[in-house]
Amino acid sequence: PCDLIYRRDNRMTIKTYAAVLSALVLTACGPSTTPITTAPVQVSHSTTRPVQRYEIVPARAVMFDASGKRVELAGVPCRLNGAGLAAAYTTPANLNIPIYGPNSSTVSVGCSHEGKTVQKVVGPVNKTREAVANSGSGAGLLGALIATSVAAGRGNRANDEYSYERFFVDVNKRPRR
């Protein structure tokens, strides 16, 4: 199998190896993540809004080191608060958060590191609307524009799928070079 790389008539193999190598290089450039081995933290809710479903959302604390590289921090105490939502956890963690569909609200995530607390506000995302907007991207610029217009015009619907993005909190700012 390795001799296929050296055959001149087998360009697909060379392209495949180049793509794999590129993916490995790009993966190495991103922040490393610590595996989450603890049980999901239940986000408590005290509201009369009906829960559409529960979703596991990863929560992490990251910082920039002196060279500007993003590094994950383990063992950072954090709190999530929102309209009728609350949880205390230590990073990294998976949060089991209730999703209220179009009635999902923004939440505030605060993490304390080295005597300083940093807050981040995270809003719900309409995944159905996002999928509609992205559906035209394969059809060029005109397709993307049409799909984005359709997504914007359809609004938020009760049966749309909602979620939260990952809860990543930067505990410091990127150093200037």
Q: For 84-126, how does the pLDDT look when each residue is reduced to its tens digit (9 = 90+)?
A: 999 999 999 999 999 998 888 899 999 999 999 999 999 988 8
- 143 sits in the region (left: phi over 0; alpha: psi -120 to 50; else beta) called alpha
The one-letter code for the residue type at 107 is V
Please work out, in degrees rounded to the nearest 5, the angle formed at the alpha carbon of residue 44 by the alpha carbons of 39 and 50: 115
Q: What is the pTM of this model?
A: 0.67
Q: How many helices (H) and strands (E) does the chain have?
A: 3, 12
First to last CA, the chain: 46
Q: Which helix (H) or strand (E) holds 81?
A: strand 77-82
